[in-house]
């Protein structure tokens, strides 16, 4: 039998008619680049994200680059972000021309510790990129207060947190811009690479649109030097077909998380994910901590249950950042977590029986 980590094939089978119809329509209309399907998805996603503008782009990594380029970061600027994320977050700070400054996580929610942000601010700091990690919002009240006090911008990395809420308010609506990934495995996934930025700022929206489209809004009128970062029509139509299902898929993930919580929270050595008060978690990943993570993962794998580690090395300790000469002691929570985190199978269609298999195997592990 076995339990997969995720099951994109099953999701497709459940809405096959809608997806196949969307793909056929794009081919029929020859609408591969720009065009009505991209425009429609941008409008629909702006609505869902409760934002004035949605600028689609090729992937969530480009979204981060475009947002920072539109904010005109420059060499010498420092941008603060979390030690525990996917490398896009920090690499795009560098590619946009600034220097990433890493902060530890809070030890509970896997998100950036606002106290560490305060301590990392220098006269060169221009912005903060919190990541709503694994699907749980970062502490936005504290982060926005620090940003206001020091006159810094905030870009929210929402790649793992579609529809998550902080004190009732949608993530992505706090900062000057927010970036999304629609990588196939994300809570809203395309059938290839895709991404978007949302913002309420008209000027930044226009600048990001130009940057992503060769530096111009009208063909052959290049106002600036841009890049080519487009969402293609096929991906846009697929995303539009999936978007109406996202609320139900999100609830299904949250219900599956409740089942795991109830089944696992009494087991010695297992720490289930904790959700801070006022925050809704959308469980892109359901991640436990376990002191013998690798042997537990091997035990589950030997019994047909797929798990994954996000991420085996936290950002400041990667070879890519050896120039900063960071040590694990600089990030006690994040560096401590990297040997303990284990993400369990999590997808909207996971069955009670599959979850029971996972829970029973973890109970039987000594």
Footprint of ligand PLP (CB under 6 A): 59-61, 85-86, 88-89, 131, 157, 159-160, 181, 183, 193, 195
Q: What is the CA radius of gyration of the chain?
A: 21
Separation between Cα atoms, residue 281 and residue 273, nearest integer Å: 10
Q: Is the CB of residue 26 less than 8 Å from the CB of residue 242? A: no
**Order of strands, sheet of 53-57, starting from the edge strand that comes earlier in the sequence:** 53-57, 195-199, 177-181, 153-157, 125-129, 78-82, 99-103
- Smallest distance from ligand PLP to CB 15, Å: 21
CB 79 within 8 A of CB 128: yes
Shortest CB 277 distance to ligand PLP, Å: 23
User: Which residues on adjacent β-strands are paired with residue 232?
Assistant: 33
Q: Which is nearer to ligand PLP, 11 or 81 (CB)?
A: 81
Smallest distance from ligand PLP to CB 123, Å: 28
* CA distance linking residue 26 with residue 19, whole number of Å: 11
* Minimum CB distance to ligand PLP smaller for 78 or for 193: 193
Please give the Cα distance from 275 to 109 (Å, whole number): 7
For residues 132 and 289, which CB has a smaller minimum distance to ligand PLP in the complex? Answer: 132
Q: What is the chain's length? A: 366
Residue 192 Cβ vs ligand PLP, minimum distance, rounded to whole Å:
10
Residue 78 · residue 101 · CB < 8 Å: yes
Could you tell me if 73 and 205 are in contact, meaning their C-beta atoms sit under 8 angstroms apart?
no
Nearer to ligand PLP, 186 or 207 (CB): 186
Q: Which is nearer to ligand PLP, 56 or 209 (CB)?
A: 56
CB of 195 to ligand PLP, least distance (A): 5
- CA–CA gap between residue 251 and residue 257 (Å, rounded): 10
- Asked if residue 67 lies in contact with residue 177, where contact means CB atoms within 8 angstroms, the answer is yes
Nearer to ligand PLP, 192 or 216 (CB): 192
Tell me how far, at minimum, the Cβ of 233 lies from ligand PLP, in Å.
18
Minimum CB separation of residue 89 from ligand PLP in Å reads 5
Residue 59 Cβ, how far from ligand PLP at the closest point, in Å?
A: 4
Q: Least Å distance between CB 173 and ligand PLP? A: 18
Nearest-approach distance from CB 353 to ligand PLP, in angstroms: 29
Distance CA 64, CA 156 (A): 9
Distance CA 256, CA 98 (A): 40
Can the peptide bond before residue 184 be classed as cis, meaning omega within 30 degrees of 0? no
* CA neighbor of 201 nearest in space, from 70, 69, 53, 56: 53
Short-list 276, 260, 275, 262, CA closest to 342 = 260
What is d(CA 59, CA 132) in angstroms, rounded to the nearest whole number? 17
| Pick 89 or 235: Cβ nearer ligand PLP | 89
Instruction: Identify which of residues 77 and 193 has a Cβ nearer to ligand PLP in the complex.
Output: 193
User: Between residues 61 and 136, which has the closer beta carbon with respect to ligand PLP?
Assistant: 61
For residues 183 and 286, which CB has a smaller minimum distance to ligand PLP in the complex?
Answer: 183
* Nearest of 190, 280, 268, 279 to residue 235 by alpha carbon: 190
């Amino acid at each position: 039998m076995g339990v997969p980590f995720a099951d994109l094939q099953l999701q497709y089978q459940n809405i096959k008619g809608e997806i196949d119809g969307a793909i056929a329509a794009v081919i029929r209309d020859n609408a591969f680049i720009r065009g009505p399907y991209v425009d429609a998805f941008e409008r629909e996603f702006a609505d869902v994200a409760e934002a004035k503008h949605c600028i689609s782009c090729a992937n969530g990594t480009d979204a981060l680059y475009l947002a920072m380029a539109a904010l005109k970061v420059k060499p010498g600027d420092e941008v603060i972000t979390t030690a525990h994320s996917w490398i896009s977050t920090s690499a795009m700070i560098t590619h946009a021309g600034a220097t990433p400054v890493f902060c530890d996580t809070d030890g509970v929610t896997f998100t950036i510790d606002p106290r560490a942000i305060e301590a990392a601010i220098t006269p060169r700091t221009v912005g903060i990129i919190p990541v709503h990690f694994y699907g749980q919002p970062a502490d936005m009240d504290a982060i926005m207060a620090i940003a206001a006090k020091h006159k810094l911008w905030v870009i929210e990395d929402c790649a793992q947190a579609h529809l998550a809420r902080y004190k009732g308010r949608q993530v992505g609506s706090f900062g000057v811009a927010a970036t999304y990934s629609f990588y196939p495995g994300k809570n809203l996934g395309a059938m290839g690479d895709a991404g978007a930025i949302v913002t309420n700022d008209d000027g930044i929206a226009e600048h990001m649109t130009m940057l992503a489209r060769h530096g111009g809004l009208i063909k052959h009128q290049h106002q600036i030097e841009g890049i080519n970062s487009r969402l293609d029509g096929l991906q846009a139509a697929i995303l539009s077909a999936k978007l109406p299902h996202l609320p139900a898929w999100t609830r299904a993930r949250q219900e599956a998380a409740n089942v795991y919580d109830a089944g696992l929270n009494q087991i010695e050595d297992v720490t289930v994910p904790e959700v801070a008060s006022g925050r809704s978690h959308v469980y892109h990943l359901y991640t436990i901590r376990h002191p013998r993570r690798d042997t537990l993962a091997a035990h589950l794998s030997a019994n047909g249950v797929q798990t994954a580690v996000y991420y085996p090395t936290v950002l400041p300790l990667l070879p890519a950042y050896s120039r900063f000469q960071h040590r694990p002691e600089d990030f006690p929570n994040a560096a401590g977590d990297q040997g303990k985190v284990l993400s369990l199978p999590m997808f909207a269609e996971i069955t009670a029986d599959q979850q029971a298999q996972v829970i029973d195997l973890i109970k039987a592990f000594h």
